[in-house]
Each structure stands twice: as structure tokens, then as C-alpha cells.
Amino acid sequence: MKATATANSNTALVKYWGKYDEKLILPMNGSISLTVDKLSTATTVEFSKDYRQDAIELNGKTAEGREKERIAGHLDLIRKISKSREKARVVSKNNFLTAAGLASSASGFAALTVAACDAAGLDLDKKNLSIIARQGSGSSCRSIFGGYVEWVAAKTSEKSYAKQIADENHFDVRDIAVVVEAAKRRYTTRESMQASVKTSPYYGAWLKAAGSDLESMRKAVIGKDFTLAGRTAELNSLMMHATALTTTPTILNWSAATISIMHAVQDWRAEGLECYYTIDTGAHVHILSLPGNSKEIVKRVKLIEGVTDVIENRPGKGAEIVNEHLF
């Protein structure tokens, strides 16, 4: 009744923005991501009759409030599926910033799902694990798989799942995660999406464009076309943020350093150093490049004011059970 899993974060190359169903986390549009290898979460889950209530520890601190409710609710879902009533102890650790727009909930709920299902005695394939993970955090369903992953949009739970387009060895692209000085986000991703669906005048245009971007990204990944992948990811990111910026109240998570990096990437590309940026829901930036250019890009981006860390990622593997427990 005890298991430990690790899961990597993922960077959305074609993003989802908005939900058809908030409770089941069914997306309004499909998405495609790259699972990375350096941003990860490890989680140990133990179910026992000796526990009177769920005890949850995240990065050395006891989980409280909304954070605890989300995790306990996800454990309840897994208990329902496994027909168990036993409470759990959960210990989870990230090796990167939490709640900063680097998809910590994606790796976190993927690791939690895989560990908890294994500890509960459930023998599930990755498709079904992704369906369960999705109900904790939408983007976590993509971290169940390695490499390039598509999350299928649907109006029923069993039809909205993640699937692998290509594994981590198919297309060697570097995702350079650039961490910048930034204020804490005023709204969670979930709150931001809800507001955009209701108030952004551009939301309908976003949905139309996202469908076209999915086709382009699938073609780029399968054909190993970096230029098409980069152009699609960068424009898709800008369209998502245009939708967020035109939400009431406006959602602006960028910092001065974010904008400096955006300008720098465009300048470098004009010089012949091909790279592209994509930004999720925070101020931090992901720069996409081919392996041969990554060293120079890392060197240059470290010189930009406001940059606090730079992490070069390769395509990473999916969530998996490991033998080293956290308690």
C-alpha cells in the first residue's frame, strides 16, 4: 500500500485555455506539449488503516487550505475507483519553483496519480492514468507520457485523455527554461481561464486558431520540422496571452525581464540564431532551440537583467514508479 513515482513537467507547445467542464477538467480545445527532463516531482503515497486522516507534505511543509483540498479530493477519486476507504500519507518534492508558471501542478498531479494508483493496487494503462490525472490538474495528463504528447479535447471524461505523438528520442529539441524575477501571480491558472471564457472578446478566435495550430504542430513533430514547430508554438503562445490580456480583469503575468527575453529571441533569430519562445501562465519563458544552438542561447540569456536561473531541458520520459521512497 506504498508507492513512489516521479513525473516530469511539460511545456505546452499548443496551449489549452478554458474548460468545457470545470469539475472534470474537460478542455475547450486540444493541446500538445513536450515533456522535459530537468523539471520533476517525486511523490510517495501510503494508504493505511492506521491513518485517521490524510497527511500531506509538499516541499517540506504541511499542505493547508485549497492546496490540501485539491490533493485530498484527488485521493478520494482514486479511493472510489479502488473501492478503498483508507486514508493516506503523501510526501511530495519538486526540484523547481511551485505555482510560478512552470507547470508544477502538471508534474505534481501526474506523480501523485501514478503513485496513489499503484499504492491502491490499481493496474492501469497510461491512457486511463491520464484520465485520472486530468481530473486533478488538466495539464498533468500530458506528463503521464514522455516526449511529445497531445491531450484530446472532448465533452465526456472517458474521451478526453493524453496520447503520445512521438517519444523522447524522436525529435531532439532543447527547451531552455528561463526563470525571471516576478511578482506572485494575482490569479491562479484556473481562475484566469474561467474569466477569459466569460469576458475576452477574442475567445472565439482563440479556439479557431488553436485547432489549426494542433494540425501544424503534429506535422512539425512527426516530420521533425523545427522551424514549423517553433513558429507555431510562439504564435500560439502570443494568441493565448492576447486572450488573457483582453480578459476582465486583465491577466498580465509578464515582468520586464519577460519582455526583454521576447525581444532578444526575435533579435537573435534575425541574426540567424534560430530560436523561439513560448510562455505559459507566469512570467518565466521557455526558449526552444536545436541542440547545436542551445549553448550560445544559454550564454546570452544569462546576461539579460532580471534572469535568475536558466535550465536547459531535453525531451524527457513519462511518469514512472521508482524504488526510492521519500519516507
What's at 27, amino acid-wise?
P
Work out the average pLDDT over 186-208: 94
Position 230 scores a pLDDT of 98
Q: Is the pLDDT of residue 268 over 70?
A: yes
Segment 126-136, tens digit of pLDDT: 999 999 999 99
What contacts 24+ positions apart, CB below 8 Å, involve 49-56?
Answer: 49/86, 51/86, 51/87, 51/88, 51/89, 52/87, 53/87, 54/87, 54/88, 54/89, 54/90, 55/87, 55/88, 55/89, 55/90, 56/89, 56/90, 56/92
Segment 18-59, tens digit of pLDDT: 999 999 999 999 999 999 999 999 999 999 999 999 999 999
Residue 297's SS3 state is: helix
Q: Which domains does the chain have, with CATH numbers?
A: 2-168+316-322 (3.30.230.10), 174-313 (3.30.70.890)
Work out the average pLDDT over 144-164: 98
Q: Is the pLDDT of residue 193 over 80?
A: yes
What's at 261, amino acid-wise?
I
Position 97 scores a pLDDT of 65
Check: CB of residue 135 under 8 Å from CB of residue 75. Answer: no
Q: Are strands 61-62 and 87-94 parallel, antiparallel or unpaired?
A: unpaired
pLDDT band at 102 (very low <50, low <70, confident <90, very high): low
Segment 68-81, tens digit of pLDDT: 999 999 999 999 99
Position 103 scores a pLDDT of 53
Q: What are phi and psi of 309, to 5 degrees?
A: -160, 150
Task: Choose between 98 and 124: higher pLDDT.
Answer: 124
Q: What is the Cβ-side half-sphere exposure of residue 277, based on CA atoms within 13 angstroms?
A: 23
Q: What is d(CA 125, CA 1) in angstroms, rounded to the nearest whole number?
A: 19
Q: What percent of the chain has pLDDT over 90?
A: 93
Q: What is d(CA 257, CA 46) in angstroms, rounded to the nearest whole number?
A: 42
- CB burial readout 149-187, b (16+ within 10 A) else e: bbbebeeebeebbbebbbbbeebebbbbbbbbebeebeb
The pTM for the full model equals 0.95
